[in-house]
A and B are shown apart, each in its own frame.
Chain A
Amino acid sequence: MNSFPEDDHHLTNFLQQNCPTVPPAAADLENRILAVIDDTPQAIGLSEPLIAQRSRPSRRVAWLLPSAIAAGFVATIVGYQAWIPRQQPTDAELAELETFIESTWQGNLAEQPPSETEELLPLTDEPPVN
C-alpha cells in the first residue's frame, strides 16, 4: 500500500554530513533555566490543549450572541404584526370610497369618444361593410 520509498540514503547521508552546526549554548543557560524553574510552580492541569479547549466555550458564546440578536429582531417584527390589529374603514369612509369609484367609472365611459370606441372593434380579414 505504501507508495513512498522508505529510504533515500544518498540524500540522507549528504544532509547528515552537512547538517548546519548548532551554535553552542550560553555557558549559564542551564543554570538560568533552572533558576526560572525554581520560581515557577508546576501548573496542575494546564497543558496547552486544555487551554485551547477552555477557549472553545467563549467562541460558542461569540457565535450565539449575533444569532440571538437576529432571532430577537425577527420575533419583534412578527409579534408586532400579529398583535397590532389592522385598522378597519368606517362606514362613512366606505360610502365615500363607493361614491368615488362610481363617479370616476362613469366619467371614464362618458368621456370616451365614439370613434375611439369603434377603433376598439376586433380586427378581422373582412373589409368593413358600408
Chain B
Amino acid sequence: MFVVQTVSDGSHSENDDSRLVQQSLQGDTQSFRSLYRRHQQRVRAILYQLCDGSVLDDLVQEVFLRAWRGLPKFRQSAKFSTWLYRIAWNVAADYRQAAAKGRSQLQRLTTHTSTQQDAPDVMHLHYQDLVQRGLEHLSFDHRTVLVLHDLEEVPQKDIAEILEIPLGTVKSRLFHARAAMRQFLETEGVQL
C-alpha cells in the first residue's frame, strides 16, 4: 500500500499558537514541544522539497532551534506559521548556499523510494521522480513559490509575507515556475 503524504489542512488555530508561544516565552518547553508537533510536518515537507533528504532531520532541528532562540522577537500580531516558514526558508537557503560552495559534500538518499512502499506503483514512482527532478530544474526562487503554493497550499498573501516580496512578484514567480515545470514534464513525455 502506497503511503500518500497528507497535506496539512491549515486548521491550526492561531489563538492556540499564540497561547503556546506565550507559554514558551515563559520558558515552558512543553508548550514549545506542542508547537513543534503542530508544525513539524509542514516544515519538514517544505525543507525536503527545497533541499534534499540527506540532512533533513538536521535542518528541521535548526529551524526549531532558531525559532526557540528568536521567539522573543516574534511579533505577536503576526501568524506563527508564517514566521516559522520564513525561518525554514532561511535555513533552506543557507543550506543550499553552503552546499553550492562545496562546504558540504552531500549524497542524495533514496531511502524514500525503498522503505516506504510495500507494493510500489512503478508509474507513481516514476512521476514522483519526475516531480522531484522538475523541482530541481527550477531556480530556487521559482521552486520556493511553487512548493509553498502548489504543494503546501500556503496562500499567496502569506508567501509574500514569508519571502518579503510584493504579492505581484509571487504571482509572477508562480506563473513562470509553473510554465517551467510544465515544459519540463512535457519534455519527459507527460501531457497534462
A interface residue numbers (CB < 8 A to B): 2, 4-5, 8, 10-12, 14-26, 29-30, 32-34, 36-38, 40, 42-48, 50
Is the Cβ of A36 less than 8 Å from the Cβ of B150? Answer: no
**CB-based contact A19/B73 at 8 Å:** no
9 A-B pairs besides A21-B116, A25-B57 with CB distance below 8 A are: A4-B172, A8-B178, A14-B190, A15-B131, A20-B48, A21-B3, A22-B48, A22-B56, A33-B60
Main secondary structure of the interface of A (DSSP, over half): loop
A11 touches B178 (CB 8 A): yes
Decide: A18 and B33 in contact? CB cutoff 8 A.
no
What is the chain B residue whose CB lies nearest that of A24?
B116
Q: Which 10 A-B pairs have the closest CB atoms?
A: A47-B73, A18-B127, A4-B175, A10-B192, A4-B171, A20-B132, A47-B70, A22-B48, A23-B53, A23-B112
Q: Which residues of B contact A2 (CB under 8 A)?
A: 168, 171
B159 at the interface (CB under 8 A from A): no
Min Cβ gap A43→B in Å is 5
Within the assembled complex, what's the spacing in Å between the Cα atoms of A42 and B109? 34
Residue of A nearest to B170 (CB): A4
Bound Cα distance from A30 to B35, whole angstroms: 11
Q: A-B pairs with CB below 8 Å: how many?
A: 126
Contact with A along B36-76 (1 / 0, CB 8 A): 11001100110011000100110011001110111111000
Residues of chain B with a CB closer than 8 A to A10's CB: 192
Contact assessment for B130 and A23 in the assembled complex, using a CB-CB cutoff below 8 Å: no
Residues of A contacting B7 with CB < 8 Å?
16
| B109, closest chain A residue (CB) | A23
Interface positions, chain B 123-178, Cβ under 8 Å from A, are 124, 127-128, 130-132, 135, 146, 150-151, 168, 171-172, 174-175, 178
**Given A4-B175, A11-B150, A11-B182, are A19 and B131 also a contact pair (CB < 8 Å)?**
yes
In the bound complex, residues from chain B placing their C-beta under 8 Å from that of A17 are 4, 127
Q: Which residues from B are CB-within-8-Å of A43?
A: 69-70, 72
